[in-house]
Structure formats: C-alpha cells, structure tokens
Amino acid sequence: MAEITFSGVTKVFAGNVTAVDSLDLHVADGEFMVLVGPSGCGKTTALRMLAGLEEISSGTLSIGGQVVNNVLPKDRDVAMVFQNYALYPHMTVAQNMGFALKIRGESKAEVERKVREAATILRLGDYLDRRPRALSGGQRQRVAMGRAIVRSPQAFLMDEPLSNLDAQLRVEMRVEIARIQRLLGVATVYVTHDQIEAMTMGDRVAVMRGGQLQQVAPPQALYDHPANEFVAGFMGSPPMNLLRVRTSPSRGRVGIAVGDQRLDVPAAYGATHDLPRDEDAEVVLGVRPEDIDVVGSDVSGPTLKTRVERREALGAEILVHLSVADSGPASSVAYDEDAVVSRPTTLVARMAPQARVEVGDVLMVRLNEERLHFFDGRAGVTLRRERV
Amino acid sequence: MTGSTLGARAPRLTLRRRRQLAGALFALPAVGLVAGLIAVPIGQAIYYSFTQWDGLTSTWIGPSTWTQAFHNPNLWTALENNAWLLLAVPFALGLPLLIAMLLHQRVIGWKIFRSIYFLPTAISWVVLGLVAERFFAYQGTLNSLIHFFGLAHVSTNMLGYESTALSALGITFVFTMIGTNTMLFLTGLATLDTSLEEAARIDGAGRWRIFRHITLPHLSRFIQLAFVMTVIALFSALFSLIFVMTGGGPGYATTTMEFLIYQTGFAQGDFGTAALYGLILFVLTAIVGIVQLRLIGSDE
C-alpha cells in the first residue's frame, strides 16, 4: 500500500492538445480519492498516466515515494478496473482473476486460494467456472473488481466502473465498492463524471475541468464551500443557483440587485468575504435549491418576490422553478437571450412534496442567509477569505 | 360443444406445425438451388465415373475405371504432391500473422506497407505465376541474387528438377496467399478491444504473454477461417500457377489432383476417369472442411 503524488503532471497530446495541465494532487495511503468532472476534463488521462498507459509529458508522478514516470505498467503494482471491465473473454472467471498471479509465478494452490478468497468477498463463488459472456453486467463488474483485489496492489485505479450498469445496480455497487475499499484499505483513485458517486464514495473529491484541477476537498466541504463557480454548479443535483448580480450598497450595508429587486446581504458576510464595497460591481450570488424557503410577505432577511414557472414532482421532493418577478408589465419578461445572460433571474428551489405550489403563483421566498455564496464576477472564484 | 375457446372453428394445424411448414416452404428455393448446383453435378460425376466418356458420348463400363485408377501411379504421385504442399500452409498463415502484427503496431509507413502486402491479391494468379517463373528460372532473379551475394556455387534451376520444383510452387503459393491472409488477420486485430491488452499490461504481461493469452485466442476464429480458405485454395486453385510455371512437370513432380483432372480430361480426353479424380478431390476437401467445422463447433 502506498501514497500517490502528482506534481505538476502535464499531458500534451499530438496536435498540441493539453489534456492535463500541471496537476498537483496527493492521495494518502488508504485514501479513496475521486476524480470528477465533465467529459474531456482530463480525469481519465490522469488515471491512465498513473496506470502507465499514457506517457507523462512533464512533471513527476510517484507511487509509494518512487517516481514512476518511466516505469512500465506491469512494474507499478497497481490494479485497474476498466469502464467496459476488459475481462478476457476466453478465460473463466477464475482464470480472469488469477491471470496476474499466474504471470507473477505464484503456485497453482496459492492462486486458487487467493481467487477463492476474493470470490467470497465479492460473492462470486458460484460463478468461478463461467466465461464472462455468461455473466450479467453486475457480475462482470464484480469480476473486474476481483481481478484487481486478488493482486493486493499498492493502489486501485477505477475508470468509471459503474457507468455501464443500470441505475439500481449502480447504487448497490457504489456501496459495495466503497465497502471493499474500506475493508482492504488500499489507496484508490476513482474516476467518474457522476457527482453522486463522487459525493457518496470519496474520502476526498478532486474536481477537474479543462485539464485543470479546480478543487480538492472532502465531499461535504466541497458542497458547502465550493472554490469557484464551476465547482458550485457541478456538485449538487439540481446544481446551485448562480445569479449574476450587481452590488448596490446603501446605508453602509452591502446590497445586491436581483432583477429590479434589492436584496440586503447579511452583515456577517462582511467579516468572512471580500465583498466589493463599490456601487455596481458584478458578483455572482450562489444559493442551493434547498436553501430557498417560501415565506410570508412580512418577514425580514434576504427575500425575493418570485413567480412559479414550472413544478417538477420527484416523489420525495418537488423542484420549483421560480422567476424573480419584475415590477414592470408582464411583457417585459418575454424571453430575450441577451437579457437572460446579463440578468439571469431564474431560481430552482427544492421543496417538500406537501408544499402547495402551482404554476403562476406569486411567492415571497427567503434565501437561507447563513448559506449564501459569493463569487467574483469576472474570475468566478469564491469571495470567501477562508478557502477549503 | 367442446373445442377452442376462441371460436367455433378450431385450427386444423397447431401453431408449431404451421411454423414448421412455413419454414420449409421458405427454405425450398434455397434448397433447390443448392441441390441444382451441387448435388446434381456430384451425381453426374459419380455417374460419369462409371462410363467411358469423351465429352460427347458416354458408354457405361461399370467399376473398371475405379479399379484402374487406383492402380495408376500418377494418382498417388498427385496425392503425394498435395500432401507435401500442405507443408506450405503453416507458412501461408504464419507469415501473414507476423506481418499483420507488425502493421497493427502502426509502424511508420504502415499504410504503404499494407497496400504493398495486399497488392498481389489484386493481381491474376496467371501473372503471379509468370513472375514466379521468371524469379525461379535459371537466369532469373533468384539466381541473380545468389550471384550477387557471391554464392554462385549454390545457384540452381529450381523449376527444372523434380526435387525442387514442388518447393518453388509451394513458395509461390505462400506468396499469393499473403495478401488475403494478412488482411484477414488485420481485420481480426482491429476488432480486438484495446482495453484487453491494456488490462493485461497492467496485470504484468509482457509482449509475448499478451500475444499468447490475449491476441492469439482472439484471432483463433480468423486463423481457422484462413486455414480453411488456404487449404481449399491449395487443393483447388493452384491450376493457373502450375499451368504457367511448370505445366505439372518435370515429369509429374508438380502435378496435383486438380492438375491431374485437367490432364486426364482435357489432354487425354478421358473424362470418365477425370470425373472420378474430381470426386476424390471433392471428398478430400470436404473432409478438411468438416474437421475444421467440428473444431470450430467444439470451441463454442
């Protein structure tokens, strides 16, 4: 078992395409690190460099303190689970799982013992003599896991291992993989584009975008204190509402204009955030869907008058799409792309299914004043002084 | 009243029976075509093998053709030649496999090499035979090369001696098969999931093990197909090469069953015996095919 360190690791593909740009990341021994991001963010390339399947253009990559830039995959002592499982089709489950051990020259009895052990952990005991094509998707996935764990490697590398499974099986395997990883305590780098997997499985989550690392933090910290607009929008489903607004200070307090409504920013934010003091500065206000509540018209705090545009019932909750009501005539809310970009005034709120909300209702909503997020209007980075 | 709950009129045939009948009716045209093109000529060949036939009129002579044919040393020579030529098959599969593996590595200029290797396939075997004849001739390219390397004492007329002519034919045959088999193996390699190879690399396998445990099992079906095609070509498509290169000689040194059929029928006008030889060749080819199908079947 070992720790993994990327220092300034860069991958440039032919045609001068930078897939991974100076990645600095440390995975502690036994840690479950999730690399998450949209397609093309460089997460899989980073994993493949770690596996030795891609050469490193610059920077150093070390496993267990040893620089592995020029070490062949077979000598890195890492095991990888592929998205399509990559099971050897002509071998049985037992042969698939024991292949690496056989190559390593372990005795037949030893290989058999280890395969049996792994099969027990993965509940594959009854399928050892089957070929991969006679297995279901979930079973194949478990064999791929088995092939990795029999080797007792220094690290597990997993490349979207659940993306080919149906939704229910994915939930089961999510738990299963996390359980096995905790059981074995092997450092794991897990690549996914699914932020729910990232939130539920990782000890820490590294969010990537365009080849660059955006933020690394434990899942809850990432959710509560996103380092920038991208992370705020990527983590969470539905994502955080991000409103491009302008400051409008009044009587010594920072206020912001949302549409043509004014919202007072609680004074406490002055102590923790670098909010612009000048008039008409652009900032991005972030508020999670669960931090929006319907209130009466007489309450204090950051409130907005909104109109219900759409209502999505999800069973356990409803998602309510709200437009920040303009005081002008209704026609001025007509769809205008430029207006939407420069003055976005739509919010998604998560409400209890009992909430009596219908399309067209005009609601007064309050934003949870302890959980507002502010980002720089240009750079998109958080205005919070203490970073996670 | 008893019977169907669906209505008063019970169907005369069960659904299963009707499906079987429909299947048979649909298969009938294909069965007819196969029978017409294969079964009838085979039947005719069997019939003519019991006749004396000059191509126009046939006279029934009974099994005497059969007894005489098996005492004909030329038949045994031809069968022996066919057997010796089978030694070319491993080369006709191994070389293309090697070439395909190299091309699959995407070496510099692999597209040009691919075209070069495939080119002979697009050329008539008559032309290939002529080129080969010039290559092996006493004053041909092979001996020029031997002279060039200062080995004049080993220069030889390969097509001129009974001991070497069959080898020259075998080598030419291997050359003619390289293009097709290389393409077949390249296709097989293209369908190999690259993540399997990557998984094996991470599992600790080196090049040889990856070839032995991943590539080769994946290619096995392509190799089986190439084997069948190569053996069938060897038994039934060498005519043009033999005709152009050696005419079956010297003596009967390069006469295969196929060429013997031609000689017996068209050169000697004995179509009855030629029909019998045709039957023997058919049985030999069929045995190879059936054994191969069994092997493929047992793999599943």
Q: Do residue B202 and residue A99 have CB atoms under 8 angstroms apart?
A: no
More confident residue, A42 or B71: A42
Give the CA distances from residue B199 to residues A79, A124, B102, B206, B213, in Å, rounded to whole numbers and listed in that order: 9, 20, 21, 11, 12
Decide if B300 is inside a domain. Answer: no
pLDDT of residue A374: 94
Q: What is the largest CA-CA distance in chain B?
A: 103
pLDDT of residue B72: 87
pLDDT of residue A341: 35
Q: How many residues does chain B have?
A: 300
pLDDT of residue A1: 63
ipTM > 0.85, yes or no? no
| Residue numbers in A near B193 (CB within 8 A) | 84, 86
Of A299-303, A346-350, B47-51, B241-245, which range is least confident? A299-303
Decide if B54 is inside a domain. Answer: no
On whether the CB atoms of residues A265 and A275 are closer than 8 A, the answer is: yes
pLDDT of residue A338: 39
Looking at residue A368, what DSSP letter applies?
A: -
* Residue recorded with tokens 């052990």: A117
Residue in A44, A77, A80 to test binding to B, most B beta-carbons within 10 Å: A80
Q: Do residue B199 and residue A79 have CB atoms under 8 angstroms apart?
A: no
Measured CA to CA, the distance from residue B226 to residue B217 in angstroms comes to: 15
In A212-336, which ranges are continuous DSSP H helix? 219-224, 229-234, 269-272
Report strand pairing: A292-295 vs A282-287. unpaired
Residues belonging to chain A with any Cβ–Cβ distance to chain B shorter than 8 Å: 51-53, 72-74, 76, 78-80, 82-84, 86, 88-91, 99-100, 103-104, 147, 151
Of B116-125, B163-172, B186-195, which range is least confident? B116-125
On whether the CB atoms of residues A376 and A230 are closer than 8 A, the answer is: no
Measured CA to CA, the distance from residue A219 to residue A238 in angstroms comes to: 16
Please tell me which residue of chain A has the smallest CA distance to B198: A53
| Residue numbers in A near B221 (CB within 8 A) | none
In chain A, which ranges are continuous DSSP H helix? 43-51, 93-103, 108-121, 137-149, 167-184, 195-201, 219-224, 229-234, 269-272, 337-342
Give the CA distances from residue B133 to residues A68, B48, B142, B180, B210, in Å, rounded to whole numbers and listed in that order: 57, 36, 10, 22, 41
- Give percent above pLDDT 90 in chain A: 64
Measured CA to CA, the distance from residue A366 to residue A301 in angstroms comes to: 7
Task: Tell me the residue range of the domain where B133 lies.
Answer: 70-278
Decide if B33 is inside a domain. Answer: no
Give the DSSP H/E element, type plus range, for residue B177.
helix B162-190
For residue A378, is pLDDT > 90?
Answer: no
| Burial classification of residue A171, based on how many CB atoms lie within 10 Å of its CB (0-12 exposed, 13-18 middle, 19 or more buried) | middle
Decide if B290 is inside a domain. Answer: no
More confident residue, B186 or B140: B186
Looking at the structure of chain B, the number of domains it has is: 1
Name the residue facing B198 among A53, A91, A100 (closest C-beta): A53
Measured CA to CA, the distance from residue A146 to residue B97 in angstroms comes to: 33
- Give percent above pLDDT 70 in chain B: 95
Measured CA to CA, the distance from residue A193 to residue A204 in angstroms comes to: 15
Rg of chain B over all Cα atoms, to the nearest angstrom: 26
Decide if B129 is inside a domain. Answer: yes
Measured CA to CA, the distance from residue B34 to residue A304 in angstroms comes to: 82
For residue B11, is pLDDT > 50?
Answer: yes
Q: What is the mean pLDDT of chain A?
A: 88
For residue A257, is pLDDT > 60?
Answer: yes
| Identity of the residue numbered A146 | G
For residue B288, is pLDDT > 70?
Answer: yes
pLDDT in tens, B194-218: 999 999 999 999 889 999 999 999 9
On whether the CB atoms of residues B168 and B158 are closer than 8 A, the answer is: yes
Q: What is the mean pLDDT of chain B?
A: 87
pLDDT in tens, A134-160: 999 889 999 999 999 999 999 999 999
B30-52 residues labelled b (16+ CB within 10 A) or e (exposed): eeeeeeeeeeeeeeebeebbbbb
Residue in B192, B203, B215 to test binding to A, most A beta-carbons within 10 Å: B203
- Segment B41-59 mean pLDDT: 84
Decide if B63 is inside a domain. Answer: no
pLDDT of residue A271: 85
Decide if B250 is inside a domain. Answer: yes
- Give percent above pLDDT 90 in chain B: 41
For residue A334, is pLDDT > 70?
Answer: no
| Identity of the residue numbered A210 | G
Residue B297's pLDDT band (cuts 50, 70, 90): low
| Identity of the residue numbered B122 | A
* Residue recorded with tokens 């030419």: B172
Report strand pairing: A4-13 vs A17-27. antiparallel
Q: How many residues does chain A have?
A: 388
For residue B120, is pLDDT > 50?
Answer: yes
pLDDT in tens, B215-267: 999 999 899 889 988 998 998 888 999 999 988 878 889 999 999 999 988 88
The CATH number given to whatever domain includes residue B265 is: 1.10.3720.10
Distance of residue A68 Cα from the nearest chain B Cα, in angstroms: 14
Measured CA to CA, the distance from residue A273 to residue A158 in angstroms comes to: 38
Q: Do residue A89 and residue B198 have CB atoms under 8 angstroms apart?
A: no
- Segment B175-187 mean pLDDT: 93
A266: preceding bond cis by omega (within 30 degrees): no
Measured CA to CA, the distance from residue B154 to residue A20 in angstroms comes to: 62
Decide if B45 is inside a domain. Answer: no
For residue A202, is pLDDT > 70?
Answer: yes
Of A80-94, B4-18, B116-130, which range is least confident? B4-18
pLDDT in tens, B150-164: 777 777 888 888 888
pLDDT of residue B106: 82
- Domains, chain A, with CATH or none: 4-234 (3.40.50.300), 241-328+341-376 (2.40.50.140)
